[in-house]
Amino acid sequence: MLLRLTRVAKFYGNRLVIKDVSFEVSAGTVTLLAGPNGAGKSTLLKLMAGLSRPSAGSVEHGAAPDASGDALGYLGHQTFIYPELTAFENLAFWARLHGLAPERCSEEALLAALERMELKRFAFERAGGFSRGMAQRLNLARVLLLSPSLLLLDEPGTGLDTRSMAILHREIAAARDRGAGIVWISHSVAEDLARADRVLAIADKRVVYSGPAADYVPEAVAC
Amino acid sequence: MQTNRLSPAMPLVGIVAGLALALCQYMIFVYAPVEQTMGIVQKIFYFHMPLAWWSLISFLTVFVASIAFLRTRNWKWDALSGAAAEVGVLFSGLALITGSIWGRHSWGVWWTWDPRLTTTLVMWFVYAGYLVLRTLDLPRERLGTVSAVVGIVAFLDVPLVFLSARLWRSIHPAVFASKGGGLEAEMKTTVIACIVAFGFLWVALTWLRAAQRRMAARIDVLATQTTI
Amino acid sequence: MLSAALAIASKDLRLLLSRGTGLVQALLLGLLLIFVFSLSQRVGEVMGPQGAAAIFWLASAFCQVLIFNTLFAIEEANGARFGLLLAPVPVQAVWLGKGIAGFTLLLCAQAVFLPAAIVFLGQTVSPLWHVGLATVLLADVGIVALGALLGALSQGQAARESLLSIVLFPLLVPVLLAGIRVGAAAFADDIPEGVESWLGLVAAFDALFLGAGIVLFPFVYGGEE
């Protein structure tokens, strides 16, 4: 178990966003988080990330299977990029902040991570000039550098070109094969269903489906 | 579930405050003798002293309620700290005005670097800013948290402001020794009575405002629930 | 925690000093203040040392409000705040990092303000200058500790500079008074009450608000919108 939510509810002020969510993420699985806009998917992901505290219930993080990796990686539509720094400097900052071991944040390691994202040519250019796809790939490089055991994705594919999208899908699959647990909010559920093992669907502030991806019928909640 | 009705004790405190203040008027103007050198203006002291006193209690209340809010996340503490800050700014503002009139009469200046007056002025600024902060258009949780943090920080500053003002004054000519020294027995009794009476007023006002704040929050809940 | 704080501070300094215009704006505002106040003297008149010290600290106070607003605004642009919060370090590292960066930037600004105050306001440097400098350093620690705590209020761009200064300035009164008194002494070599009590006061202020920052910062800096 990498993550366990028990009867989680969240209020913003007086407004109920989500309630009574119980859910588990285990290693080596991809869970697709589905539901209409405004159903509380992003809120749920922030609760999972520990960025936001549940108003009721509990969120527990399990220990990583191997202690080498960072516990958690979070990839949202916001890129976490400092536009005034170069791609390399951006990556180096996050590596240093997370206190990665020297061999994992050496210049070669960082350049290799950029290479994998096909960004090595732009390593020493200001990240502010990057296109949406490049910026998001840099963001992905940051997350993967941490080699997290739990990977939370909040519509990472929004506005991406096909090449960036392909890289994103490749890395999600690679992370799962490595044994990471992945929770993924996708803007095109029907298309990404094939890439998922499980589905957690929410609508009207509560869970409407939780089970294998194969048995999930998207139309049931598409209202 | 919080109750929607006001406690019946609240109007009672208000009535007691009114009666006590009326009694104080009698004590101030009839019972207590007119002071020799200051004349009738000295009577303002009976207002100034309790106002200054209870404004400090207000700020202490903001401090305690803010800590309680951060620990418990119970909104009644937020309402209390907001109410206490309002009453505190009102009382300290009045204390500044009365103190200024007193200073004009007794030392010939409207303002002096008296440590107590200076501290009151700085606190007035801090808590006036705090009240502005509370009107910001932020999510309720965030506003409550931010207000509580400022409420705590503000009170931590009080002793330092007092000390620095006292040090600062040592470079100016000291215009007076002590303002409360050498009171006659009747005057002392009157001062104590006034402090108690203003205490009732303080409790009544703070209680009322806190209750109003809680009701306003409750109405907000009902309003959002019906619109969605 | 210290290495994370240093990572944040060095990143901020690189952003603001080498490429950004954040510090320039704060510097210009402070210099303008000093210049405008120099107009309060008649031609040939020299401002008293206490007046000059007060203007120096006023410029510093305004400057640090702008500095901390910029430092926290950096993290909002692309949501990097969430990245900082997700790092496996105590959130106080952000406070410390911003504090270190702010301290450095404030010192840089003061290195410009001080000569400007001496030139425009006609001050001299007395044998007490080293005490004056020590007070500047000591006072900056407290100012920065409080600034880094309250600067986080601007998270989500809800509180603007004007509000931050309204809340911050009165709280800074003890340090400002100390800075002005000892600063005047450094200009004029005259401090009848002695510097020890002022330095003690500033040290108490530093200790109090360093403590308050460590305890309270996690409440103001979080992942909630």
Per residue in A162-190, pLDDT (tens digit) is 999 999 999 999 999 988 899 999 878 88
In chain B, which residues have their Cβ closer than 8 Å to the Cβ of C169? 125
Percent of chain B with pLDDT over 90: 45
Position C65 in a domain: yes
| Fold classification of B10-173+184-227 (topology level) | Four Helix Bundle (Hemerythrin (Met), subunit A) (1.20.120)
Q: How many CB pairs under 8 A join A and B?
A: 13
Model confidence at B171: pLDDT above 60: no
Interface of B with A in 98-157 (CB under 8 A): 139-141
Model confidence at A69: pLDDT above 70: no
Model confidence at B175: pLDDT above 60: no
Q: Is B206 or A16 the better-scoring residue by pLDDT?
A: B206
Domain A3-212 has CATH 3.40.50.300: yes
Q: What are phi and psi of C101, to 5 degrees?
A: -60, -45
Position C225 in a domain: no
d(CA C148, CA C154): 11
Are A82 and C80 in contact (CB < 8 Å)? yes
Residue C16's alpha-carbon distances to A149, C35, C82, in angstroms, are: 35, 25, 21
List the structure tokens of C76.
Answer: 């909002």
- The per-residue pLDDT for B225 is 65
Any chain B CB within 8 A of the CB of A14? yes
Lowest mean pLDDT across A84-88, B55-59, B75-79, C119-123: C119-123
Q: Chains with ≥3 Cβ pairs under 8 A against A?
A: B, C
CA nearest to A14 within chain B: B221
Q: Is B36 or A139 the better-scoring residue by pLDDT?
A: A139
Any chain C CB within 8 A of the CB of B176? no
- The per-residue pLDDT for A67 is 47
B109-113 mean pLDDT: 82
By CB neighbour count within 10 A (0-12 exposed, 13-18 middle, 19+ buried), where does C186 fall? buried
Lowest mean pLDDT across A82-86, A156-160, B123-127, C205-209: A156-160
A45-59 mean pLDDT: 88
- The per-residue pLDDT for C157 is 56
In chain C, which residues have their Cβ closer than 8 Å to the Cβ of B165? 177
Tell me the nearest-neighbour CA distance from A193 into chain C, angstroms: 28
In chain B, which residues have their Cβ closer than 8 Å to the Cβ of C219? 70, 145, 148-149
- The per-residue pLDDT for B228 is 47
Domain that holds residue C159: 2-220
In chain A, which residues have their Cβ closer than 8 Å to the Cβ of B140? 13-14
- Residue among B139, B220, B221 minimizing CB distance to A12: B139
d(CA B68, CA B82): 13
Tell me the nearest-neighbour CA distance from A219 into chain B, angstroms: 25
Model confidence at B4: pLDDT above 70: no
- Residue among B146, B148, B161 minimizing CB distance to C174: B161
Q: What tens digit of pLDDT does each residue of B24-39 get?
A: 988 888 888 887 777 7
- The per-residue pLDDT for C46 is 79
Q: How many CB pairs under 8 A join A and C?
A: 72
Are A14 and B139 in contact (CB < 8 Å)? no
In chain A, which residues have their Cβ closer than 8 Å to the Cβ of C5? none
- The per-residue pLDDT for B124 is 95
A98-103 mean pLDDT: 84
In chain C, which residues have their Cβ closer than 8 Å to the Cβ of B142? 156, 158, 224-225
Are B141 and A12 in contact (CB < 8 Å)? yes
Q: Give the confidence band of B1 by pLDDT, cuts at 50, 70, 90.
A: very low
Are B225 and A14 in contact (CB < 8 Å)? yes
Question: How remote is the C-alpha of A49 from its chain's centroid?
Answer: 9
Q: Is the dihedral of CA A134, A138, A141, A143 positive or negative?
A: negative
Lowest mean pLDDT across A209-213, B103-107, C117-121: B103-107
Helix (H, G, I), strand (E, B) or coil at B135: coil
In chain B, which residues have their Cβ closer than 8 Å to the Cβ of C224? 139, 141-142
B124 with B91: CB under 8 angstroms? Answer: no
Q: Which residue has the tokens 């007086």?
A: A14
d(CA C8, CA A65): 29
Are B225 and A12 in contact (CB < 8 Å)? no
Interface of A with C in 93-112 (CB under 8 A): 93-94, 96-99
Residues of chain C with pLDDT under 70: 19-21, 156-161, 225
- Residue among C8, C11, C80 minimizing CB distance to A80: C80
Which residue type, as a one-letter code, is found at position A153?
Answer: L
Interface of C with A in 56-95 (CB under 8 A): 74, 77-80, 82-89
Q: What tens digit of pLDDT does each residue of C153-202 get?
A: 877 655 566 778 888 999 999 999 999 999 988 888 777 777 888 999 99
Lowest mean pLDDT across A108-112, A215-219, B223-227: B223-227
* Residues 6+ away with beta carbon under 8 Å from C148: C68, C71, C95, C96, C98, C99, C102, C213, C217
- Give the H or E element holding residue A57: strand A56-61
Per the structure, the count of domains in chain C is: 1
Are C216 and B160 in contact (CB < 8 Å)? no
C179 with C141: CB under 8 angstroms? Answer: no
In chain B, which residues have their Cβ closer than 8 Å to the Cβ of A12? 139, 141
Interface of C with B in 109-168 (CB under 8 A): 146, 149-150, 153, 156, 158-159, 163, 166-167
Model confidence at A77: pLDDT above 90: no
In chain B, which residues have their Cβ closer than 8 Å to the Cβ of C216? 149, 152-153
pTM: 0.89
- The per-residue pLDDT for B226 is 60
B138-149 mean pLDDT: 87
d(CA B137, CA C207): 33
B142-150 mean pLDDT: 91
Tell me the nearest-neighbour CA distance from A203 into chain C, angstroms: 22
- The per-residue pLDDT for B5 is 64
Helix (H, G, I), strand (E, B) or coil at B53: helix
- Residue among C166, C173, C193 minimizing CB distance to B122: C173
Q: What tens digit of pLDDT does each residue of B61-100 get?
A: 999 999 999 999 888 999 999 999 999 999 999 999 998 8
B189-205 mean pLDDT: 92
Q: Which residue has the tokens 């309680």?
A: B68
- Residue among A52, A76, A84 minimizing CB distance to C79: A76
CA nearest to A53 within chain B: B141
- The per-residue pLDDT for B176 is 46
B184-191 mean pLDDT: 84
B131-158 mean pLDDT: 89
Q: What are phi and psi of A19, to 5 degrees?
A: -145, 155
